[in-house]
Amino acid sequence: MTAEKTFDYIIVGGGSAGCCLAARLSEDQEVSVLLLEAGNPGKSIFIDVPGFLSQLIPKKKYNWAYWTTKQKHLDNRTLYWPRGKTLGGSSAINAMLYIRGHAKDYDQWVQLGAKGWGYQDILPYFIKSENSERGGDDFHGENGPLGVSTFTSQNELNHAFVEAAMQTGYAFQEDFNAAEQEGVGYYDQTIVDGRRMSAAKAYLMPILDRKNLTIRTNAQVARVMLKNKKAIGVTLVDGEDIYAEQEVILSGGAINSPQILELSGIGDKEKLEAAGVCCLHHLPSVGENLQDHLDVYVTYKSKLPITLAKWLKPHHALPELIKWFAKRPSVLGDTIAPSGGFIKTNPALERPDVQLHLVLGIAGKPHGFSNPNEHGYGLHTCQLRPESRGSVHICSKDPLEKPDIDPAYLSAHEDRVALREACRLAINIMEQPAFTPYKKARVWPPESTNLNDDKALDAEIRKVAETIYHPVGTCKMGDVADPSSVVDPRLNVIGLENLRVVDASIMPRLIGGNTNAPSIMIAEKAADMIKKDRKEKRSSPHG
């Protein structure tokens, strides 16, 4: 071992959690931290400009560009799964909405064995991470690295949506991240001065001069090195070995973290041997428990030329780009989904089970594979608490081969019912009088669809439903005695030493909302646990 290839902590993955971890652990000048990111540094105007989102999602430059297996309940379609492959991870290519989820989501984690992760336990870490334009209070922070702003869009369709939803009977919600979540309103966003606030920009850019922090990009990890059930370092895909004195921490997300565990011989013995990998530690639930938010997009043609189809034309986009450079209000400085809400398909539910995002444009193909060619708008309608469970597993021992991703969408009957009812509620909102000045014709579901016919509506949903980019759960956190657990509540991989997973893959159950802010919260809490464990280890007579 050479000194330049030995660090106290090796963090694998420079996404939302990894950037936060690197910043927090390197606050201690006595430790050395290495952050490894498989992608590039991510210095691009397409990342910085919120309005260029559609140019990021379909391209591979900053994106793993995964595809799922054929989905039985979605007409055997394979679905595109973009995940960030650059510093900042998916926070560099997401829609920049700042949502934490419902308080009871985290209390449910505790019921599932994640002791110490209830809402009152994790709220301080949301506050710690945040620098909110709202200022500091019982729910928001004003001194954290992550800049969060309130609604800035000038597009009148946002106000039409909120008015229409209130005409339907939903209450206005001023702050989705405060005491109550239910209702409709305007989203907080990780945008500051019209610039994307990725985790890399928030946590890494201010500390690049720290001598105890090393950041390496274009450095993909092939496996974790184990010795006597202890993680001692990592091997890169080019064969380079790097050693860790304290811990190896996987922060690759719900796909890459279980993939690396399995490539390292950690997982279900039969699955590993079938892929040609020798099992070094039998942990059968690695890669299981995959959950994601499935979404349908209720769309309408617009009478008025006020949607994204206008701003994507060069003679309109150029003046907006000039405004953006001058740090003046610009369409390009806004998220494409500024307003939305959380509603219930059944009033008896304790938590909203549907999230809505109003989007200021429609296109022929999802994920930005085609630009809008006519004016329109739509309501992304997402079922928040799916019962369907899928998996992520390696196909071979080749670290460059993408794993099998099977979210098993709509395999649970309850999910099919919930998404169908969510669709009907969304259409009801879009048909309210507030949208009359804008509504030209409904695009999806087609006007010919009998909305009262369950089978007819289900058939349309199967044709178009897509991910809304929130995969979690594949390295489930829980009690060590629970065979479905992969990590314990301190995020240690069960049965191994000096190896943790810190990212959205540890969520035992998908939260009711967007997952970027919760991923950062997980890393904030993990950093404190890691620091405390190191301190206790040093003070121990055997440390």
Residue 74: what are its φ and ψ, rounded to 5°? -125, 45
Give the distance, in angstroms, between the CA of residue 416 and the centroid of all CA atoms in the same chain. 23
**Under 8 Å between Cβ of 222 and 237:** yes
Can you tell me the distance from the alpha carbon of 291 to that of 390, in angstroms, rounded to the nearest whole number? 6
Torsion angle of C-alpha atoms 226, 231, 237, 241, degrees rounded to 10: -90
Instruction: Respond yes or no: is residue 73 known to be catalytic.
Output: no
Mapped onto helix, strand or coil, the DSSP state of residue 431 is coil
Options 375, 380, 470, 542, the catalytic residue: 470
Separation between Cα atoms, residue 35 and residue 11, nearest integer Å: 5
Angle at alpha carbon of residue 384, lines to 381 and 386, rounded to 5°: 115
**Angstrom distances, CA of residue 220 to CA of 12, 25, 233, 492:** 8, 21, 14, 22
Supply the DSSP symbol for 385. Answer: S
303 contacts 397 by C-beta, under 8 angstroms: no
Q: Are 339 and 187 in contact (CB under 8 A)?
A: yes
Q: Is the peptide bond before 445 cis (omega within 30 degrees of 0)?
A: yes
Cβ 399 vs Cβ 234: under 8 Å: no
Element (H, E) at 524: helix 516-539
Instruction: Transcribe 440-507 into DSSP letters.
Output: EEEEETTTTS-TT-HHHHHHHHHHH-EE-S--B-TT-B--TT-TT-SB-TT-BBTT-BSEEE-SGGG-
User: Measured between alpha carbons, how far is 324 from 333 in angstroms, rounded to an integer?
Assistant: 6
CA distances from 534 to 76, 115, 157, 529 (A): 49, 20, 52, 9
Query: Quick one: 106 exposed, middle or buried, by C-beta within 10 A (0-12, 13-18, 19+)?
Result: buried
Whether the Cβ atoms of residue 300 and residue 160 lie closer than 8 Å to each other: no
From CA 478, how far away is CA 471, in angstroms rounded? Answer: 18
Q: At what angle do helices 156-168 and 413-430 cross, to 10 degrees?
A: 110
DSSP string, 322-370: HHHHTT---GGGS-S--EEEEE-SSTT-SS--EEEEEES---SSTTTTS
Q: Residue 402: which of 173, 74, 82, 16 has the closest Cα?
A: 82
Q: Hey, which residues are catalytic here?
A: 470
